Structure 1
């Protein structure tokens, strides 16, 4: 019986973390224009309520992109920048990271769906909130089998 309560609690937690249509707060900046964007600690002045964008209801996640240009390309010198923003693409990469590379550069893109989650140290907090209860359920199920 306790297992059913635990499962219900986990489902409720996931629904609350990934609540579609709710306003989300994300850091928005580009280190090319504002060097603070690449810092570990970000000021709240860089926060934006994503619902304030045009078509704000489409913005359901936060994104952090780290772009690196390794050598001079088209007369642009090697460079690295961090871009943080609200995001509207709820693709298969939501709540995850992926890397892309090409001639002369690469980027790592991470997305998450909780307030302020595109902050450097908090990017994977959504995973922890989801995986901890799931781990408890599997532990309980394994103990029940034995």
Structure 2
């Protein structure tokens, strides 16, 4: 029994640092959101970089300040970015995830997503949001790291029969 306790303490210490580190990152991101002139989004395409696909780890890919980018050629050059977006395309069984800046304002509130289905096995989910770093995914899609770590901790304690 004592040997199990000796093994768990270092594990608890490491898990504590992970939880604290994840909260620190969230606090930093919230500070960035206070600046209304900046809109920072994750930008990637899973066709070219598999790390963009779901499940998405935001710490493995960079982000972009949308205000520093030129708008697409088909839009007016004076238009400002309005949102971050995430698009999931499923075409004939192949899935592609695209994250980036959006320039046309969206009338939906928060992170509401729109799902569309077409012919020939085409499914598209479009999510838009207006806060920095918000195009990670749809709310409720992924458990927070704290919940994941807590579940892992319960499993380890049960496995080692610690009371």
Tell me if TM exceeds 0.5.
yes
Match in the other structure for 1:107: 124
Q: Bigger radius of gyration, 1 or 2?
A: 2
- Report deviation, 1:105: 0.7
Shift in CA distance, 91/84, structure 1 to aligned 2, threshold 3 Å: same
- Report deviation, 1:28: 0.4
- Report deviation, 1:117: 0.3
**SS in structure 2 opposite 1:107?**
strand
How do 1:1-146 and structure 2 match up within 5 A?
A: 19=36, 22-38=37-53, 39-43=55-59, 45-55=61-71, 58-69=80-91, 71=92, 78-93=93-108, 95=110, 96-103=112-119, 104-120=121-137, 123-124=138-139
**SS in structure 1 opposite 2:52?**
helix
Query: 1:45 and 1:52 mapped to 2: Cα distance?
Result: 18
Q: TM-score with structure 2 length normalisation?
A: 0.53
- More deviation, 88-97/98-107: 88-97
- Report deviation, 1:92: 1.6
Residue deviations 1:93-131 (CA, integer Å, cap 9, x gap): 3532111110121111111111100013xx449xxxxxx
Query: 1:33 and 1:88 mapped to 2: Cα distance?
Result: 23
- What are structure 1's unaligned runs of at least 5 residues? 1-15, 72-77, 126-146
Backbone CA RMSD of aligned residues: 2.6
Q: TM-score with structure 1 length normalisation?
A: 0.59
